[in-house]
Amino acid sequence: MSAATTRTILHGDLDAFFAAVEQRDRPELRGKPVIVGGGGPRDRGVVSTASYEARVFGVHSAMPLRTAGALCPQGVFLPVDGAKYQAVSREVMVVLRRFTPLVEPVSIDEAFLDVSASQRMFGDGAEIGRLIKDDVRSSVDLTISVGVATSKLVAKVASDLRKPDGLVVVPPGDEAAFLAPLPITRLWGVGAKSAEALRMYGVRTIGDLAALPDDLLARRFGKNGPMLGERARGVDADPVGDRDAAKSIGHEHTFDVDTSDRDQIERTLLAMSEGVAGRLRDSGVRASTITVKIRDTTFRTITRQRTLPDSTDLTEPIFRTALALARPEVRGVRIRLLGVTASGFGQREQLGLFDPDDPRRRRVVEAEDAVRHRYGERAITRARLVGSRLPAPFERDPMTPVDPRSMDAPDDPSASDTAPDGTGRDDVDGRDRLDGTEPGEDPLDA
């Protein structure tokens, strides 16, 4: 790869994130085994994360709390304070954006940064890594582990290698040699199933995988096989933040019985707007474009979209816009399906210090989010929605960090709602739907 095209990519991931926030806010917990999860050591439920002091006892994420209690009876067990961690996550993303606008959050506590163009201002990748670690520590009082490399793949492996408080720099050209001795399970996208299958070929390390011929990989793993080999050699051209451009968050609802009832249509739009707004907030983004999709009994499908003067992550402006777009189209028509989609994302923090929303209103919304995260989407229901008997299409595991790569994949019911006669026509394409295996997914676990 020529110098002109060599990129400098950072991956940052906070150390023992939920537990570290609790230790930060309660100094008496520092140095102690802290276990954050949905209850105490005698409760059902699992560990969200454990401080490094607790990990010494074998406690780890996703372990039943009771097991954690048996392994580490002296542990301090704390409930999950989702709203607090979301807020801290946003603060960290603000810090990261001081170094480049090319920041791609991948979960609540990690992000990729392309700092290729930032080096004249801040120094080389290693120096930027150090600056970021210092800045995260002084601004939010947390430690972040950082990997620096020429690709997302290698940076991700590097950030994980010397946790906690790690900084691992892989110089250009050293990618394959850096990866080679590591166990195959370290390779991002190789899960338990793929690792097991690879073991049959004597593959233990990433270097073993890199040495397998492409045609063998293709035979065994199909179209993802050769890609697996490339990644083992540290080849990954995936750009930082690329998926943001085509990204959208949407909900759709197909009525059990086609309807022309205005109230039912409006309540459905409200419920969907609420779901979309909640997911925008979870992802730390605001949308500037709202699209509604309307399919009638004859499978005629139209979409109408409007760009807002100010981007938003709140229900009201989304609902108002969706309603204004839908009203003229649904009059006197029997509706089969409705959809509300938000797109045109900017990061919330890019708007700077000025928050166009009433801060009190935002606090209420954030309190609602906390309840939603803890008890599920149905816990908070506007008076108007009571009795609407909408199914709960908006539920997702509150403990699963939102992964922008798969944002729309799990709950897009439109995929099965195709016109039997092929006349269905969508003005919005399915760009945001994922097909095939993405980097970061196990080709066999998928």
Residue number of the CB closest to Mg ion reads 110
Tokens coding 434: 């994922």
Between 93 and 108, CB nearer to ligand TTP? 108
Between 166 and 278, CB nearer to ligand TTP? 166
Q: Nearest 5°: phi and psi at 292?
A: -110, 150
48 binds, among ligand TTP, Mg ion, none (CB under 5 to 8 A by kind): ligand TTP
Between 10 and 287, CB nearer to ligand TTP? 10
Binding part of the chain for ligand TTP, among 12-20, 93-101, 129-137, 377-385 by CB under 6 A, reads 12-20
Q: Which of 8, 15, 282, 322 binds ligand TTP (CB under 6 A)?
A: 15
188 counts as binding Mg ion under rule CB under 5 A: no
Amino acid at 154: V
Q: Which of 9, 10, 14, 370 binds Mg ion (CB under 5 A)?
A: 14
Radius of gyration of the chain from Cα atoms? 23
Binding part of the chain for ligand TTP, among 15-23, 185-193, 410-418, 429-437 by CB under 6 A, reads 15-23
Binding part of the chain for ligand TTP, among 11-19, 207-215, 316-324, 430-438 by CB under 6 A, reads 11-19
SS3 annotation, 267-329? HHHHHHHHHHHHHHHHHCEEEEEEEEEEEECCCCEEEEEEEEEEEECCHHHHHHHHHHHHHHH
DSSP state of 383: G
Binding part of the chain for ligand TTP, among 9-17, 147-155, 196-204, 234-242 by CB under 6 A, reads 9-17
- Give the count of alpha carbons within 13 A of 286, CB side only: 21
18 binds, among ligand TTP, Mg ion, none (CB under 5 to 8 A by kind): ligand TTP
14 counts as binding ligand TTP under rule CB under 6 A: yes
Within the chain, how many helices (H) and strands (E) appear? 16, 12
First-to-last C-alpha distance (Å) of the chain? 31
110 noted as active-site residue = yes
Q: Which of 12, 33, 41, 48 binds ligand TTP (CB under 6 A)?
A: 48
Residues 104-123 that bind Mg ion (CB under 5 A): 109-110
Tokens coding 91: 């603060």
81 counts as binding ligand TTP under rule CB under 6 A: no
Q: Which DSSP string do the residues of 56-112 spell out, in sequence order?
A: TTT--TTSBHHHHHHH-TT-EEE---HHHHHHHHHHHHHHHTTT-S-EEEEETTEEE
Q: Which residues contact 175 (CB under 8 A, 6 or more apart)?
A: 149, 150, 151, 154, 233, 234, 235
Amino acid at 87: A
Q: Which of 18, 77, 221, 319 binds ligand TTP (CB under 6 A)?
A: 18
- Give the count of alpha carbons within 13 A of 9, CB side only: 27
Minimum CB–partner distance for residue 15 and ligand TTP (Å): 4
**Catalytic residue from among 53, 110, 252, 274:** 110
Residues with catalytic annotation?
A: 110
Residues that bind Mg ion (CB under 5 A): 13-14, 17, 109-110
Residues that bind ligand TTP (CB under 6 A): 13-18, 48-49, 61-62, 108-110, 163-164, 399, 401
